[in-house]
Amino acid sequence: MSLQIGRKFNEADQLWEVILKGEVDISNAAQLKSELQAMLKEKMASVTMDIKDLSYIDSTGLGVIIGTYKRMEERGVSMKMKNPVKNVEKLLKITNLDRIFL
């Protein structure tokens, strides 16, 4: 199982465009956390995550997203996700996180 994280800064809109591919679980949630931290250290800005190729995320992955979002919120920037697959969307809905991220 692997996780691929792509990112690009959109100068025109002043936001990070992130692409997550693969699966996030306890084995690689720390990788996601350090990548997001490094990105926001480089430039604190809002983030849009395209998760159409994210086939699975568990509670540790969601925890990383929530923790990152909270630190971003304190700095006045936001995080959104788009194109979730059905099972990821269901998880976001049952945890009410869809109201924040979708």
Sheet with 15-24: strands ordered across: 3-10, 15-24, 46-57, 79-82
Using the minimum distance from each CB to other proteins, give the nearer residue, 17 or 25: 25
Site for other proteins in 35-94 (CB under 8 A): 56, 58-60, 62-64, 66-67, 70, 86-87, 90-91, 94
Q: 66 vs 33, 36, 40, 58, 101, CA distance in Å?
A: 10, 12, 14, 12, 10
Minimum distance of other proteins from residue 95's CB (angstroms): 6
Asked whether position 4 contacts other proteins by CB under 8 A, the answer is: no
Q: Determine the Cα–Cα distance for residues 64 and 75; give it in Å rounded to an integer.
A: 17
Taken in order 64, 20, 72, 87, the sign of the CA dihedral is negative
Minimum distance of other proteins from residue 4's CB (angstroms): 15
Q: Determine the Cα–Cα distance for residues 41 and 26; give it in Å rounded to an integer.
A: 23
Site for other proteins in 5-24 (CB under 8 A): 23
Using the minimum distance from each CB to other proteins, give the nearer residue, 11 or 96: 96
Binding site for other proteins (CB under 8 A): 1, 23, 25-27, 56, 58-60, 62-64, 66-67, 70, 86-87, 90-91, 94-97, 100
